[in-house]
Amino acid sequence: MKKKYLIFIISIIFFSGCKTTDKRNINIETISVSTDNNVSLNYDYYVSESILIPLDKGNNQYLSSIKRFYVKNNKIAVISEDKVFIYNSENGRLLFFLDRKGKGPGEYMNIDDIYLDSEILYVLDKYNRAIMKYNLQGKFIKKIDTGLVGFTFTKINPDVFAIYINSNISDKSRYRLNLYSLRKGEIVKKFFRISDSEYRWQYVLDNRNFIKNKGHTYFIQSFNDTVYNIREEGIHPSYYVDFGKNRTPSDFLKKDYEDIREFSIKASRKNYIYSIVGFHHTIDYVYFAYRLNNECIHCIYSLKTGRTVSFNNFENYLNIKGLNEKTSWSNFPLTNDNEYFYAVIEPNSFKEKIKGKKVSYPDWINPVLHSDKEDNPFVLKFKLDNFKNIIQK
């Protein structure tokens, strides 16, 4: 039976948002976004290098949906249907496959997030309120009982995990961000208390909460316009995203709402930007998206020049002459490393896009066009260009 793919990006369905930050006494970098100057960006100006990585099927190990996607230590790690797939990031060869779902010893009930640490894989399981530890041969090593109903997590040093619980309050914590010490076996710091009002309606699924770059760990959460640098001693504001007239006022967020749907409808009517999606950070650029008037707008900020560009359309997408494409969650990056951004191309959907169109395409895209219907997705690894005077204030 032929396998079909559904590339499922968390941020497509759910919302994250912006909370006004008083930055008068905080020395942080401001990313100013104008919603009046969205441009159409030519892919030739947008990207300086494109690398295509086919994800190996191994022994018929197909990917269907992608829940989380990471690149670390020359490996690509993917969560798909409560399984973990780890590939060589250079050639896409399948290195490791973990399928230990169950209720027995050494098994997880659910995979909410993963962390790859050298030859160790950590699995965050909110139903077990624990972190499960495995080696890359699939051997179970240890269950770490945190008591937290975790949503995403990362390691900030050899001893401390940062665990984001969304609005999953428990007797262990009513705070969204928790620092858990392996050595002490307890939560050592807590940040962002969840109010009774927030608990009722502020539960959303973010594209990602933790960002790694140049040895730093950054944190962003829903309904907040500030990106924080996490350190063992605490958190420090690093970036403030200023949407100007479209920012969501803090008093609007303090009101009671029945659910996230009621909030999003009321925010949309006022043209408030309540969705910062997938904040990615390389050495030179910050890349994120936001929702406005039912559009997914991509935004890139140059750390060298302090300038931004917001765009809602790609011209000659993937250097395919004649292929224009609206910006969306499906062509938005999933992650980054220090230099590159990473997106996913689903070959069957892509071939449908260009079917019947008069286009000319570069040689590097040939593997996608000649792929089999049962092939896994391709990873697009790309580096941004200097935009050749496109980035404007």
> In this structure, which amino acid lies at residue 91?
N
Output 359 or 311, whichever has higher pLDDT.
311
Domain ranges for the chain: 10-389
- Residue 370 tokens read as 């000649």
The residues facing 75 across adjacent strands are: 72, 88
* β-sheet with 378-384: strand ranges across: 47-54, 378-384, 341-345, 335-336
pTM, two decimals, is 0.89
The CA-based angle 15-16-21, given to 5 degrees, is: 150
C-alpha 173/C-alpha 182 separation (Å) is: 17
C-alpha 177/C-alpha 156 separation (Å) is: 13
Contacts of 34 (CB under 8 A, 6+ apart): 244, 308, 310
pLDDT at 368 over 80: yes
What does DSSP assign to residue 321? Answer: B
Average pLDDT over residues 43-62: 87
Give the least confident one: 7-11, 31-35, 137-141, 173-177.
7-11
User: What pLDDT, on a 0 to 100 scale, did the predictor assign at position 232?
Assistant: 80
User: What is the distance, to the nearest Å, from the Cα of residue 160 to the centroid of all Cα atoms in its chain?
Assistant: 21
User: What pLDDT, on a 0 to 100 scale, did the predictor assign at position 151?
Assistant: 95
294 falls in which pLDDT band (50, 70, 90)? confident
Average pLDDT over residues 176-180: 97
The overall average pLDDT reported for the chain is: 87
* β-sheet with 152-155: strand ranges across: 152-155, 160-164, 175-181, 186-193
C-alpha 137/C-alpha 152 separation (Å) is: 24
pLDDT at 3 over 70: no
Q: Tell me: the pLDDT tens digits for 194-210?
A: 988 888 888 888 878 99
Is residue 300 within 8 A of residue 28, CB to CB? The reply is no
Output 8 or 310, whichever has higher pLDDT.
310
C-alpha 178/C-alpha 132 separation (Å) is: 18
Token look-up 């441009």 returns 39
Token look-up 């890349």 returns 287
Q: Tell me, which fold does domain 10-389 have in CATH? A: Neuraminidase (2.120.10)
User: What is the distance, to the nearest Å, from the Cα of residue 246 to the centroid of all Cα atoms in its chain?
Assistant: 23
